[in-house]
Chains A and B, each alone.
Chain A
């Protein structure tokens, strides 16, 4: 008889590797719980992969929101029950969304960061006529050609990000007459952002002269920096996402290039990861914990108390998403999709922890809101590991209409077919 250790062949290794890969895809087991006298919110966001760090903040934000909603009496006298899962990738996100709807009978779905997964969830939600509040997917296409009447966007569209930071770049002379070199995340979000950014740069007299598509699992940027150094662009632009941004900033600092840089997309958590003395450039941001607004400060304090660290912008997104939905359900006096759609149709204003209130624009369901820019804080003024950035003024400025940075109908047509 053969001993097991003697039958260890290459073929076994391959088989076993395949089996482990399968096991990895199955994800967390689900535990059914709760009764029907609750309102269920289904939350999905990536906890693994290059967007995982942001997803963790999304979960913290939505947990805090639901806690506060229940402390204030819940929704229509019922408690809100929060279900949370790792969305992993578009295929898994889609099947988990379906499970939320069919088995758990959720009132709505909240969350997500990956634009690709957003689209997958949106399609399931639309088929079953459930509201999906996107709190982290930026792609314009989600608000444009892929829009649907059941999908609402707390997260800013790429156009809002580009126009916000673009105004600062124009002011700093980084666009007009300049040649830009952009590094773009090679998936739905990056491609979409790149298209929006190019349109903006071109309209303002600049040129994206070089562009590289960077795989989302790339961790080493040195080869790109060498190439950029040879090309001698005037400005380097990051259209990167998630962990890519951490590595980009860290290695940019390592190579000490003197070319001005910035990004059209950004998340604070990944910049914090770059560490003191490495952060630089000019970036757009949808919300920051330094924001000098009383409601925002209260949210930051409650978050710090619960989690021991300041909230990141993704925490804001999922917090606001859940809060807005709860308020809409209470004011519309229904958790029913048709009733909620009729309520949102009137463009009610919501407190979104910013100086100006926001509203979901009726023709594309984008949350129309202030955006901000940020730059590096001089090292001498940095207080702690969370204090690397200086928040710029709100864009658009107080006298300009709030939707002046949002995509126009011409830029991003959306038609709801119900």
Chain B
């Protein structure tokens, strides 16, 4: 294989690793939007909370405990927020729910700033996951390999939950036609709470995964949120595999742009989004959801 090709392949594989963190956030966003119609601008905030909790719990009880406890705590917080805040906005003008989640995002960011200060708080990769993995001439961080596995497990679990369980069937039916679900005598209310918990918990999980390799600071949620929205849009609203494909695509395109045209690295995903939307206005696998048309 020519050397250049090896380098490009290496960037592609690395791009997949970068894409998975975005993916977990994008899936949560997509879930909450599909079922409740709420565009959760505070999603990045929950990602940040997940990261801060990971640091706080990790420093006291070790990283493995933090890895489990932090996303679970964030998920419960998400369910609470759904009960108290989201609930009132499902039937309201979408502008109101956008303002509400935008406000919530600011409240979360400022709360983190007041509690922990504006500067990034120190956190690193736990000792047992440090080091690199060499495959031929490729180099990978062992930690990123580990989080890739976790992300795959999370995505597979989510897919199973949505496609193969009674819970998932109600959620999917609710996405297509909530009124019909109601007419069949099923109350969507607990499902909305569960889905918010699930989606926000995924953001928390992404936060824990990224805390050791990225700066843990109050605005970290805003950093990643835009990319996640781009992924949801590229993948198509409501599409599970669309989001998965889009996340990997964004990661790979970004990696390749760093290789060929570094100054455009962060802009590459927007160009990708424009290109996809021109060809497919609903995104790659966007479903036609009647009530959103």
Contact = CB atoms under 8 A, between A and B. Distances in A.
B15 interface: yes
Most buried by B among A3, A5, A217: A5
Contacts of B122: 272-276, 385
B230 interface: no
A251 B213 contact: yes
A220 B223 CA distance: 11
Interface of A is mostly: helix
A9 B292 contact: yes
Given A17-B98, A255-B132, A270-B215, A9 B266 contact: no
Interface string B79-105: 000000000001111110011001000
A4 interface: yes
A71 interface: no
A213 B143 contact: no
A195 to B, nearest CB: 16
A219 interface: yes
Contact of A4 (B93, B132, B212): B93
B56 interface: no
Contacts of B291: 5-6, 8
A251 B130 CA distance: 11
Contacts of A6: 291
A227 B258 contact: yes
A26 B59 CA distance: 38
B254 interface: yes
A187 B132 CA distance: 32
Nearest to A48: B219
A213 B262 CA distance: 6
Contacts of A203: none
A269 B118 CA distance: 9
A186 B37 CA distance: 38
A224 B18 CA distance: 12
A246 B215 contact: yes
Contact of B18 (A5, A12, A222): A222
Most buried by A among B15, B144, B219: B219
B147 to A, nearest CB: 11
Most buried by A among B91, B124, B125: B124
Nearest to B95: A16
B263 A223 contact: no
Interface string A326-341: 0000000000000000
A278 B216 CA distance: 14
Contacts, number: 171
Nearest to B18: A220
Given A13-B94, A23-B102, A186-B263, A219 B119 contact: no
A246 B259 contact: no
A74 to B, nearest CB: 29
Contact of B124 (A20, A55, A212, A253): A253
Given A4-B92, A6-B291, A223-B255, A254 B125 contact: yes
A24 B226 CA distance: 14
**How extensive is the interface on chain A, given as a class?**
35 or more
Contacts of A243: 120, 215, 217
A312 interface: yes
Interface string B218-236: 1110011000000000000
B139 A215 contact: no
Given A217-B223, A218-B266, A250 B214 contact: yes
A56 B218 CA distance: 12
Contacts of A16: 39, 94-95, 98-99
B180 interface: no
A176 B119 CA distance: 36
A233 interface: no
A19 interface: yes
A153 to B, nearest CB: 23
B265 interface: yes
Nearest to B266: A215
B143 to A, nearest CB: 6
Given A213-B262, A223-B254, A273-B121, A19 B217 contact: no
Interface string B112-123: 010001111111
A47 interface: yes
A4 B262 contact: no
Interface in A303-340: 309, 312
B143 A254 contact: yes
Contact of A9 (B18, B265, B293): B293
Given A6-B291, A56-B117, A219-B214, A278 B7 contact: no
A277 interface: yes
Contact of B215 (A9, A49, A55, A250): A250
B11 interface: yes
B131 interface: yes
Given A186-B263, A220-B18, A250-B212, A274 B124 contact: yes
Contact of B14 (A20, A223, A275, A309): A223
Contact of A254 (B95, B141, B216, B293): B141
A52 B131 CA distance: 31
Nearest to B226: A217
Interface string A1-45: 001111011101101110110011000000000000000000000
A57 B119 contact: yes
B95 to A, nearest CB: 5
B17 interface: yes
B94 A12 contact: yes
B258 A223 contact: yes
A12 B292 CA distance: 10
A88 B217 CA distance: 17
Given A5-B91, A17-B98, A19-B98, 8 more contacts: A212-B262, A217-B266, A219-B215, A229-B139, A247-B215, A250-B212, A269-B120, A276-B124
Interface of A: 3-6, 8-10, 12-13, 15-17, 19-20, 23-24, 47-49, 52-57, 186, 212-215, 217-220, 222-224, 226-227, 229-230, 243, 246-247, 250-251, 253-256, 269-270, 272-278, 309, 312, 385
7 contacts: A3-B91, A215-B266, A223-B258, A226-B7, A226-B11, A254-B143, A272-B119
Interface of B: 7, 10-11, 14-15, 17-18, 37, 39, 41, 90-95, 98-99, 102, 113, 117-125, 130-132, 139, 141, 143-144, 212-220, 223-224, 254-255, 258-259, 262-263, 265-267, 291-293
Among all A-B residue pairs, the 5 with the closest Cβ atoms = A273-B120, A275-B122, A56-B118, A246-B215, A223-B258
